[in-house]
Amino acid sequence: MAPKLLITRKLPNDVEARAAVSFDVCPNLTDGLMDQSALLARAEGVDGILATVTDRLDASTIATLPASVKIIASFSVGTDHIDLEAARARGIIVTNTPDVLTDATADIALLLLLGAARGAASGMAAIRDNTWANWAPTGMLGISLTGKRLGIYGMGRIGQAVAARARAFGMLIHYHNRHAVKGQEDATFHQTLASLLAHSDFLSINCASTAQTRGSINAQTLAALPHGAIVVNTARGDIVNDDALIASLTTGHLAAVGLDVFNNEPNIDPRYRTLPNAFLLPHLGSATQETRNAMGFRALDNLDDYFAGRVPRDRVA
């Protein structure tokens, strides 16, 4: 018999069609978010779960999963929504989907850089609200990327892809990572976040959400940025302290911000919506047809490996 697979959200049609070939699929026909009780009920008797970032697989949930569940394949590169230690304690395999969303997310980071630097939010509002009176030599002036220092916080796959794109705009690359990255010799490595921030006209947040990085962009660290800096975030919302970021935007210490991820999304801090210097997107980082298909196929590859007795390529727990 085919392994029984719970798919917690509606996935692209091609992904669901492939899943149906190899698995006895328990789909989420309504695409509604599952709370803990609903997920546990739907997981009864299944062999694996294909989960997404909207599923909060914390220690309590994992400890209560039915004994039949042997693997959780996450439709994501990040795994901060899954308690990996709890999964290890239960002997549940966890996999993710690295590599395939790198380019799409890096593209969004550059969109945020440009949108924030050129005041795209205010410009779009002027068009939509019909308040654009006339072209003016000093009207709607933004900030050029060329020649500016881009600080990259987290020089993994996505950080490196952002750097490659930013170089095409003539930006000077600085980065902070756990260690210097081979192939980035033309970029300036900073051993500390504080050093990076002091040398960043623009800051791109590309690090993973960990105990060390959560809340690391706060009042103290934002104050280390040069006056008039711009911050963009395509990583995770919990890396940023909202109160501190909004205060920096309101006082003018930061010129602008570009955000694709938020704390408590989609219920974001409503103050962001009132800021004319905030360029905001609804978590579009991996949102292309090609990327979402690739993510689904990668998750299914990991599931196929496990149920064929092989070690999944992208095992993280």
Known catalytic membership, residue 265: yes
Q: How far apart are the C-alpha atoms of 208 and 210, rounded to whole Å?
A: 6
Of 236, 253, 313, 315, the catalytic one is 236
Known catalytic membership, residue 283: yes
Of 283, 298, 310, 313, the catalytic one is 283
Q: How far apart are the C-alpha atoms of 74 and 97, rounded to whole Å?
A: 7
Of 214, 265, 271, 315, the catalytic one is 265
Q: What is the DSSP string of 5-61?
A: EEE-S---HHHHHHHHHHSEEE--TT-PPP-HHHHHHHTTT-SEEEE-TTS-B-HHH
Per-residue CA distances from 91 to 5, 62, 63, 85 (Å): 18, 10, 11, 10
Q: How far apart are the C-alpha atoms of 164 and 185, rounded to whole Å?
A: 13
Token pair of 165, please?
């794109």
Known catalytic membership, residue 85: no
Cα 314 to chain center, whole Å? 18
Phi, psi dihedrals of residue 30, rounded to the nearest 5°: -90, -15
Nearest Cα residue to 256 out of 291, 281, 227 = 227
Contact predicate 7/288, CB 8 Å: no
Q: How far apart are the C-alpha atoms of 72 and 34, rounded to whole Å?
A: 15
Count, residues in the chain = 317
Q: How far apart are the C-alpha atoms of 39 and 44, rounded to whole Å?
A: 9
Q: What amino acid positions are annotated as catalytic residues?
A: 236, 265, 283
